[in-house]
Amino acid sequence: MRWLTHRPGYLAFASASALALTLTAPSAIAEVQSKAISYEDEGVPLTGYLYWDDAIDGARPGVLVIHEWWGLNDYAKQRAQMLAELGYVAFAADMYGNDQVTDDPSQAQQWMQEVTVDPELWRLRAGAGLDQLKASAYLDPERIAAIGYCFGGGTVLQMAYGGADLDGVVSFHGSLPAAPEESHGKIEPEILVLHGQADSFVAPEVVTHFQEKLEAAGANWEMDLYGGVRHGFTNPDAAKYGIENLRYDAQADARSWQRMQTFFDEVFSD
């Protein structure tokens, strides 16, 4: 287990203004293409979005992207596009279906709970998205990972616990479901958790329990903590939802995105 604590006061790898521009700019990069893909799970119609750079020849690593509890909105799609710009094929999966996206926290919580009430069904819904990524002709099937934000972070952890065919998973300011007893000794993907130390949605005892269960499970895991950083730190629009604990942090955003890239370099080189 490697556990790093980041503290304020160091230079970020990229300026906040540059990153914010990347996140908010329209899909104008000519080489990156996208396609809506319709699929379903248990009769629920789902629509995800595949992104790839058509200037790259041949198969490449793939990354599944799982959205925040708001639904598959533009933010998750922008992250998938950013991954395509890095040379991956990325699929932004739909966990709710029926084009359900909201700005209302109570509605978001209801939809999330409908998915997460049964961990097995939760994993199957995420797996349906993974199947769409695997169907891409651009994918190197031997190199696949998943990332998730908020609810999506918890989702990719559940995928790791459930034996998903992944090299690694990355949780950004995610919920931290503990590894269940039945996963002990069976967690194959490497796990990277990027977490705000001041995130009041996740109590310190929850963090400790999460770490202890990963250790007991024998998982290959790392958790980076960002001092003074709250929930939603990667999303420039986090504060617009009117929740005190949601705050964008440009430094933590830049550092966590860079850490993800290093992690992928490692897990995809095995």
Enumerate the domain spans of the chain. Answer: 2-267
Across-strand partners of 192? 170, 222
What is 2-267's CATH superfamily? Alpha/Beta hydrolase fold, catalytic domain (3.40.50.1820)
CA distances in angstroms from 141 to 94, 138, 145, 168, 204, listed in the order given? 21, 9, 10, 13, 38
Give pLDDT tens digits for 168-178: 999 999 999 99
Query: What is the signed CA dihedral for 93, 95, 100, 105, rounded to 10 degrees?
Result: -120
pTM above 0.85, yes or no: yes
Which distant-in-sequence residues (6+ apart) come within 8 Å of 78 by Cβ?
23
Whether residue 246 is predicted with pLDDT greater than 80 in this model: the reply is yes
Q: Which residue in 135, 133, 131, 126 sits closest to 162, CA to CA? A: 126
C-alpha to C-alpha distance for 26 and 12, rounded to whole angstroms: 24
User: At CB < 8 A and 24+ separation, what contacts does 27-31 make?
Assistant: 27/81, 29/81, 29/85, 31/55, 31/56
Place of tokens 């209302």: 104
Give pLDDT tens digits for 109-153: 999 999 999 999 999 999 999 999 999 999 999 999 999 999 999
Give the torsion sign (CA, 120, 125, 127, 128).
positive
Chain mean pLDDT for the chain: 91
